[in-house]
C-alpha cells in the first residue's frame, strides 16, 4: 500500500483524478484567502463559504460580505478577532516558521441568523499579493435568536452555544466538546489540565464602573485568555468565571502571563485574575469532577495578593472535606450548643476602660476541636445557611447580656458581625428585633458590624438596612475599613456610626510621618462625618500610644485581650479594665 498520502503529484490527489480547484471546493469546510493588509480583501473563497452564509454562489457571498474579511465577521466581534489574530501571530516563537492563529467568532447569514465559526488561520508571508492569510473555517452551530433582537443585558444573555458578551463558547458548548478535545490530546500523550478562572473582587469593579464598564473588563479578560491560550478549549461559564482545558506543559508561565496582562487592563485598579488548576489523569474525559476541584483550588486563593494560581492537591481535599462537614452539621452544631460566642473587649483610648465587646463565634466540635470562623463563615455564606449561625450568635449574646446584668450589675454593648450576604439572604433587622424582644434586651446594647466588602454588594439594600436599624435604635459599624477597595469618598454615601479600621491597614505607620498624616486625616474625616473611630488588631503599646495621640477613640486587639469565653471576660478582663 502506498503510504505517501501527502504526495500531490503521483500518489495522492492526482491519483484520484482531482484537480486543485475541485480539491479546494470539496474540503469539508470553508476555505478562503485574504490579504493581511489594508482592506483585508478576500482573494479566494471555496464553494463551501457561500453555504455558511446562506448564499448560492461565491459571487453572491463576496457581494454580501463586501469582499473583505472584516465584512465577513459579525461587527461586535471584529476588533476582538483582529486583536486576537495578531497577538497570536506575534506570540509564535521566532524559530517556528508556521504563523498560526485560532479564533472563534460570529457571522450573520443571509436569513439574519447568527452562526458561530471556528477558524484556523495561517499567515503566509511575501506572496505575489503581499502577506496573506489562509483560513479554514468550520461552522460550529447556529445561534438561535435574531441579530440585535435581545433586550437582555449582554452579561445575562448566554445562548445555546455562544457567550454573547465575550464571543467565547458557552457552557453547553464547552461541555459538549471537552471529551473529544481531551481524547485527541491524550491519544497524542499530552498531559492536560482543567483550569478555573475567577476575577477577584469583580463585584467591586462592577460597583465602581457600572455594568457596562464591568462588561468591558470581562470582554478584555476573555481576549487576554484567548491570546494566551490560543487553540485551547476556553469558555465563560457565568459572571466572571472562565474555564479552560489546556496542556500541562508550560502552564505556570502562561498563567502568570495572563495574570499580568489582566492586571494591566485597568491601570490604577487591581483587576486580579485567579486560577485553580486540576491535573487530569490520562484518559479522564469527564470534566465536572475536575472542574469542581479546579474551582475549589481557585476559591482557596481568593483575596490573597501573593498567589495567582493554585493546583488542587491533597490539602485542599481536606479543606473541602471540612467545608462539607460544616454544611452537613451546622444544624446539629446549633442544636447541640457547639456554637459559642467568644468576646473580644474594646477599650476607650483615653480612659482604657471597657466600652464594649465584639462577639466572635467559635464552633467547638466534640470530634474536631475548635473551628475558627474563617473555616465556617464563608462556607455558610456560600451555602446560604449563614442565618442559622447568626441566629445562634444573637441568642448567645442575649443570654450573656442577661447574665452579665444579673450577676455583675452591668451590661456592656455587644457588637455582632454580619456577613455581606446575610443582608440579602434574610431580614437581619427583623431577626434582631424578634430575638431582642424574646430576651428583653434593649437595642442600645447591640451594635451591628457590617464589613466593608458589603459596600460592593448592593448599595441600595445596604442603605435601607442601615436606615431601618437606626430607626430601631441600633448603632451600625463599618468593619474592616481599608481592607478592600473602598475609598474615603464612599463614607459619605452611608450612615455609619463607627468606623472600624484594621491595624493591618495602618501597618508600619509608627515613626513614619506620612502614615501619621494619613491616620490622623482618616480620624478627623470620620469625626467630621460624625463617626467614632475604632482601630482593631492593636498589638503593641507603641501602636496604641500612637493611635491615642492622633485622636482615635477606641481600640481593640491582643494588647488588651484575645477573644475569650464569657467567664474569662467578666471574671478576669473586667477586673483589669473595668466597664465604664
Strand partners, 41: 68
Q: Within 481-520, which residues bind Mg ion (CB under 5 A)?
A: none
Q: Within 146-165, which residues bind ligand C2E (CB under 6 A)?
A: none
Which among 41-49, 253-261, 286-294, 412-420 is the span making contact with ligand C2E, rule CB under 6 A?
A: 412-420
Q: Within 385-404, which residues bind ligand C2E (CB under 6 A)?
A: 393
* Interacting residues of 370 by C-beta distance below 8 A, sequence separation 6+: 362, 363, 364
| 417 binding Mg ion? (CB under 5 A) | yes
Angle between helices 287-299 and 314-335 (to 10 degrees): 80
CA pair distance 253, 251, nearest whole angstrom: 6
Helices and strands counted in the chain (H then E): 20, 20
| 449 binding Mg ion? (CB under 5 A) | yes
Cβ atoms of 446 and 497 within 8 Å: the answer is no
Cβ atoms of 342 and 564 within 8 Å: the answer is yes
| 469 binding ligand C2E? (CB under 6 A) | no
Interaction pattern, residues 313-352, with ligand C2E; x per rule: CB under 6 A: -------------------------------x--------
* Interacting residues of 111 by C-beta distance below 8 A, sequence separation 6+: 54
Partner interacting with residue 496 (select from ligand C2E, Mg ion, none; CB below 5-8 Å by kind): none
Which among 242-250, 364-372, 445-453, 557-565 is the span making contact with Mg ion, rule CB under 5 A?
A: 445-453
Strands (E), 327-366: 339-348, 354-365
Provide DSSP, 475-542: EEEEEEETSSS--GGGGGGS--SEEEEEGGGGTT-TT-HHHHHHHHHHHHHHHHTT-EEEEE---SHH
CA pair distance 423, 451, nearest whole angstrom: 11
Residue 143 or residue 342: which is nearer to ligand C2E going by CB? 342
CA pair distance 143, 389, nearest whole angstrom: 45
Q: How does strand 554-555 pair with strand 241-247? A: unpaired
In the set 255, 258, 419, 501, which binds ligand C2E (CB under 6 A)?
419
Shortest reach from residue 360's CB to Mg ion, in Å: 7
| 539 binding ligand C2E? (CB under 6 A) | yes
HSE-CB at 171 with a 13 A cutoff on CA atoms is 10
Which among 317-325, 428-436, 531-539, 546-554 is the span making contact with ligand C2E, rule CB under 6 A?
A: 531-539
Residue 169 or residue 373: which is nearer to ligand C2E going by CB? 373
Helix, strand, or coil (residue 447): strand
Which among 30-38, 116-124, 435-443, 530-538 is the span making contact with ligand C2E, rule CB under 6 A?
A: 530-538
Q: What are the angstrom distances between the C-alpha of 298 and each of 275, 368, 390, 540?
A: 5, 25, 27, 35
| 452 binding ligand C2E? (CB under 6 A) | no
| 443 binding ligand C2E? (CB under 6 A) | no
In the set 32, 133, 418, 496, which binds ligand C2E (CB under 6 A)?
418
Q: What are the angstrom distances between the C-alpha of 384 and each of 11, 236, 293, 324, 417?
A: 67, 24, 21, 13, 16
Provide DSSP, 151-202: -S-TTT-B-SSBBTTT-SB-HHHHHHHHHHHHHHHHHTT--EEEEEEEEETH
| 537 binding ligand C2E? (CB under 6 A) | yes
Shortest reach from residue 191's CB to ligand C2E, in Å: 39
Partner interacting with residue 271 (select from ligand C2E, Mg ion, none; CB below 5-8 Å by kind): none
Consecutive H or E run containing 132: strand 130-146
Interaction pattern, residues 350-369, with ligand C2E; x per rule: CB under 6 A: ----------xx--------
Residue 201 or residue 220: which is nearer to ligand C2E going by CB? 201
CA torsion 276→282→288→290, rounded to 10°? -30
CA pair distance 355, 556, nearest whole angstrom: 10
Shortest reach from residue 402's CB to Mg ion, in Å: 23
Partner interacting with residue 166 (select from Mg ion, ligand C2E, none; CB below 5-8 Å by kind): none
CA pair distance 284, 295, nearest whole angstrom: 17
* Residue of 418, 286, 295, 410 lying closest to 355 (CA atoms): 410
In the set 77, 163, 479, 553, which binds Mg ion (CB under 5 A)?
479
Q: What are the angstrom distances between the C-alpha of 397 and each of 366, 410, 416, 451, 520?
A: 22, 14, 8, 19, 34
Other Cβ atoms closer than 10 A to 151: 6
CA pair distance 574, 20, nearest whole angstrom: 94
| 482 binding ligand C2E? (CB under 6 A) | no
In the set 151, 281, 374, 409, which binds ligand C2E (CB under 6 A)?
374
In the set 325, 479, 486, 569, which binds ligand C2E (CB under 6 A)?
479
Residue 31 or residue 376: which is nearer to ligand C2E going by CB? 376
| 77 binding Mg ion? (CB under 5 A) | no
Shortest reach from residue 451's CB to ligand C2E, in Å: 6
Shortest reach from residue 558's CB to Mg ion, in Å: 14
| 423 binding ligand C2E? (CB under 6 A) | no
Residue 8 or residue 558: which is nearer to ligand C2E going by CB? 558
Residue 277 or residue 441: which is nearer to ligand C2E going by CB? 441
CA pair distance 517, 149, nearest whole angstrom: 55
| 480 binding ligand C2E? (CB under 6 A) | yes
Q: How many positions of this chain bind ligand C2E (CB under 6 A)?
A: 22
Cβ atoms of 421 and 386 within 8 Å: the answer is yes
| 558 binding ligand C2E? (CB under 6 A) | yes
In the set 121, 276, 413, 557, which binds ligand C2E (CB under 6 A)?
557
Residue 71 or residue 537: which is nearer to ligand C2E going by CB? 537
Partner interacting with residue 374 (select from ligand C2E, Mg ion, none; CB below 5-8 Å by kind): ligand C2E
| 540 binding ligand C2E? (CB under 6 A) | no
Footprint of Mg ion on this chain (CB under 5 A)? 417, 449, 479-480
Query: Using CB under 6 A as the criterion, which residues of the chain lie in contact with ligand C2E when the complex forms?
Result: 344, 360-361, 372-374, 377, 393, 417-419, 449, 451, 479-480, 536-539, 557-558, 563
Amino acid at each position: 500500500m502506498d503510504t505517501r498520502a501527502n504526495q500531490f503529484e503521483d500518489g495522492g490527489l492526482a491519483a484520484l483524478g482531482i484537480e486543485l480547484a475541485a480539491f479546494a471546493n470539496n474540503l469539508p469546510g470553508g476555505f478562503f484567502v485574504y490579504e493581511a493588509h489594508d482592506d483585508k480583501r478576500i482573494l479566494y473563497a471555496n464553494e463551501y463559504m457561500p453555504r455558511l452564509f446562506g448564499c448560492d454562489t461565491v459571487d453572491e457571498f463576496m457581494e454580501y460580505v463586501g469582499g473583505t474579511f472584516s465584512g465577513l465577521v459579525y461587527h461586535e466581534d471584529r476588533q476582538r478577532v483582529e486583536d486576537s489574530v495578531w497577538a497570536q501571530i506575534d506570540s509564535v516563537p521566532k524559530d517556528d516558521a508556521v504563523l498560526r492563529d485560532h479564533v472563534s467568532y460570529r457571522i450573520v447569514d443571509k436569513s439574519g441568523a447568527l452562526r458561530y465559526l471556528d477558524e484556523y488561520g495561517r499567515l503566509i508571508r511575501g506572496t505575489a499579493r503581499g502577506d496573506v492569510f489562509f483560513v479554514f473555517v468550520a461552522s460550529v452551530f447556529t445561534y438561535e435568536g435574531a441579530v440585535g433582537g435581545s433586550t437582555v443585558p449582554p452579561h445575562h444573555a448566554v445562548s445555546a452555544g455562544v457567550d454573547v458578551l465575550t464571543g467565547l463558547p458557552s457552557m453547553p458548548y464547552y461541555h459538549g466538546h471537552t471529551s473529544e478535545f481531551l481524547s485527541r490530546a491524550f491519544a497524542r500523550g499530552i498531559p492536560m489540565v482543567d483550569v478555573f478562572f475567577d476575577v477577584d473582587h469583580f463585584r467591586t469593579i462592577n460597583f465602581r464602573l457600572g455594568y457596562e464598564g464591568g462588561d468591558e473588563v470581562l470582554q478584555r479578560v476573555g481576549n487576554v485568555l484567548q491570546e494566551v491560550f490560543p487553540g485551547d478549549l476556553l469558555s465563560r461559564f457565568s459572571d466572571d468565571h472562565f474555564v479552560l482545558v489546556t496542556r500541562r506543559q508550560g502552564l505556570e508561565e502562561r498563567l502568570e502571563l495572563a495574570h499580568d496582562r489582566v492586571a494591566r487592563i485597568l491601570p490604577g485598579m487591581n483587576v486580579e485574575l485567579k486560577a485553580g488548576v486540576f491535573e487530569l489523569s490520562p484518559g479522564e474525559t469527564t470534566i465536572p469532577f475536575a472542574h469542581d476541584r479546579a474551582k475549589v483550588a481557585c476559591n482557596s486563593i481568593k483575596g490573597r495578593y501573593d498567589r495567582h494560581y493554585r493546583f488542587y492537591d491533597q490539602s485542599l481535599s481536606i479543606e473541602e472535606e471540612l467545608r462539607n462537614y460544616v454544611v452537613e452539621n451546622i444544624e446539629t452544631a446549633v442544636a447541640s450548643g457547639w456554637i459559642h460566642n467568644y468576646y473580644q473587649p474594646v477599650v476607650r483610648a483615653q480612659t482604657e476602660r471597657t466600652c464594649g465587646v465584639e462577639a466572635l463565634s467559635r464552633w467547638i466540635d466534640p470530634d474536631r476541636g475548635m473551628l475558627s470562623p474563617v473555616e465556617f463563615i464563608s462556607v455558610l455564606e456560600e451555602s446560604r445557611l449563614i442565618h442559622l449561625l447568626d441566629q445562634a450568635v444573637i441568642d448567645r449574646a442575649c443570654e450573656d447580656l442577661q447574665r452579665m446584668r444579673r450577676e455583675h450589675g452591668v451590661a456592656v454593648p455587644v457588637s455582632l458581625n454580619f456577613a455581606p450576604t446575610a443582608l440579602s439572604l434574610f431580614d437581619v433587622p427583623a431577626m434582631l428585633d424578634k430575638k431582642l424582644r424574646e430576651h428583653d434586651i434593649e437595642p442600645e446594647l447591640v451594635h451591628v458590624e457590617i464589613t466593608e466588602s458589603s459596600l460592593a454588594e448592593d448599595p441600595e439594600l445596604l442603605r435601607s438596612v442601615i436606615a431601618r436599624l437606626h430607626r430601631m435604635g441600633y448603632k451600625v459599624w463599618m468593619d474592616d475599613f481599608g481592607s478592600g477597595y473602598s475609598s474615603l469618598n464612599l463614607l459619605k454615601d452611608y450612615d455609619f456610626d463607627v468606623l472600624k479600621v484594621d491595624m493591618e491597614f495602618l501597618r508600619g505607620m509608627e515613626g513614619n510621618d506620612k502614615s501619621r498624616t494619613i491616620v490622623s486625616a482618616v480620624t478627623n474625616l470620620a469625626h467630621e462625618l460624625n463617626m467614632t473611630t475604632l482601630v482593631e488588631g492593636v498589638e503593641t503599646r507603641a501602636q496604641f500610644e500612637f493611635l491615642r495621640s492622633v485622636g482615635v477613640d477606641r481600640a481593640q486587639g491582643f494588647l488588651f485581650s484575645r477573644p475569650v469565653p464569657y467567664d474569662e471576660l467578666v471574671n478576669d478582663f473586667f477586673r483589669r479594665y473595668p466597664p465604664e
